Amino acid sequence: MQVSKFQADLFLRDCWQKKPLLIRNPWATWSNPLEPDELAGLACEEGVESRLITQAHGALALEHGPFAETRFGDLGGSPWTLLVQAVDHHVPEVSALLESFRFIPNWRIDDVMVSYAVDNAGVGAHFDQYDVFLIQGLGKRRWQVGAPCDERTELLPHEDLRLLANFEPTQEWILEPGDILYVPPGIPHNGIAIGDDCMTYSIGFRAPSHDELVVQWSEHILDRADRDHHYTDPALALQDNPGEITAEALDGLHAMITEKLQDREEFARWFGQYNSIPKNADIDWAPEVPIDAADLRALVSAPVSLIRNPASRFSFIRESAGAVMLFVDGHSYACADECALFAERLCASDDTSIGLKEMESQSTVAVIVALINLGSVEIANED
């Protein structure tokens, strides 16, 4: 399916997690936000997740970064692709791409991976378990998609890459700068660069697995469990057969397990904190000297912009009587009244204006101070 004018509501109704969609350049003006040399520079840095996929004699090989600066000059004429994860955490211009995709809830957004490929290079036909928007930044890329895959789909034997053994494309497009291809989970896709200097921006989304949620939620419950809480049966009745585990006993034992598992309020607060844990905690905006409420009020004598750390994650859950629970980088903050309204604004935009009105609320000031000291936000430098 292809459209030239994008409408978010129709996309969510007709395509989201249902079928691929090609969106021909919807931007008023498209400007590639990152140069190839800058991407290569990131791939050479410690703490930046990067991969290099090379192709020789029809076989793909994977290397993990960081890479020596000379590595790219040694690749020769064989096809190769460089992939750098979470570039939005390092480059504000790449992070700005996410603003066009805020019709998807913030808690679902993972990061922006950027790839650079030479002519005829690609990473092979594969499928993901999450949604992805593929934005063509520079050059051209041929994209093919196929019929849905699942855990029974045959894969090629490979130590590092999950590549399809049998890929039969059902649709094909050539993307040019500014074009976007949406691919739902489970849909196989294969991208091949046409010409050199092919750059693609992949906006991926978080999709917690059943196993992940069960394990992490269970560990949280165990960490908070009452170690002295044991099974009791004060109404124990005489049994005909002492070898039987009665239905009454099983009900009591089962209740011990399920009582906390089914606590939705506790689950909501746990998930908000768990989901907001930053992917890249190394990007630290915390001030060298922590500030307090008096310091903040001195800094905000006139309206200023509060900028979110691009590596930080912000979300909130509505609670009773207009209150919200704000989640930032694995921490939670109870917010009511004016502070709740501020928390909602903070989660809605990367740049939030604050002024004397916010300084009148002690709870709002306390949250801002905590977030600045945590390194999740900072006051924009006017210079």
Euclidean distance between CA atoms 299 and 95, whole angstroms: 26
Q: Give pLDDT, residue 3.
A: 53
Q: Which two tokens stand for residue 170?
A: 């059902």
Q: Give pLDDT, residue 248.
A: 94
Q: Which two tokens stand for residue 143?
A: 């994209």
Please, are residues 103 and 26 in contact by the beta-carbon 8 Å criterion?
no
pLDDT of 67-114, one tens digit each? 998 999 888 888 999 999 999 999 999 999 999 999 999 999 999 999
Which residues of the chain register pLDDT less than 70?
1-5, 382-383
Q: Give pLDDT, residue 2.
A: 56
Cis peptide before 177 (omega within 30 of 0): no
Whole-angstrom CA distances from 153 to 149, 207, 214, 255 are: 6, 20, 25, 39
Taking the domains of the chain in order of start, what are their residue ranges?
2-205, 293-379
Q: Give pLDDT, residue 354.
A: 96
Q: Determine how many CB atoms are found less than 10 A away from the CB of residue 232.
A: 9
Q: Give pLDDT, residue 340.
A: 97
Smallest CA-to-CA distance from 59 within 114, 117, 123 is with 123
Q: DSSP letter for 276, please.
A: T
∠212-216-218 over CA atoms, to 5°? 120
Secondary-structure class of domain 2-205 per CATH:
mainly beta
Smallest CA-to-CA distance from 178 within 204, 144, 139 is with 139
Q: Give pLDDT, residue 206.
A: 92
What is the pTM (predicted TM-score) of this model? 0.90
Give the bridge partners for 50, in sequence order: 84
Could you tell me where the beta strands, DSSP code E, fall in the chain? Answer: 2-3, 21-23, 50-56, 59-64, 80-84, 109-117, 132-146, 169-175, 180-183, 189-205, 304-308, 314-318, 324-328, 331-335, 351-354, 377-379
DSSP structure string for 102-121:
TTS-GGGEEEEEEEEE-TT-
Contacts for 344 with CB less than 8 Å, ≥ 6 apart: 316, 324
62: exposed, middle or buried (Cβ count in 10 Å: 0-12, 13-18, 19+): middle
Fold category of 293-379 in CATH = Malonyl-Coenzyme A Acyl Carrier Protein; domain 2 (3.40.366)
Q: Which two tokens stand for residue 175?
A: 């993307």
Give the bridge partners for 59, in sequence order: 56
Question: If DSSP codes are grouped into helix, strand and coil, which group holds residue 122?
Answer: coil
Please, are residues 368 and 296 in contact by the beta-carbon 8 Å criterion?
yes
pLDDT of 222-233, one tens digit each? 888 888 889 999
Q: Give pLDDT, residue 210.
A: 94
Euclidean distance between CA atoms 68 and 286, whole angstroms: 30
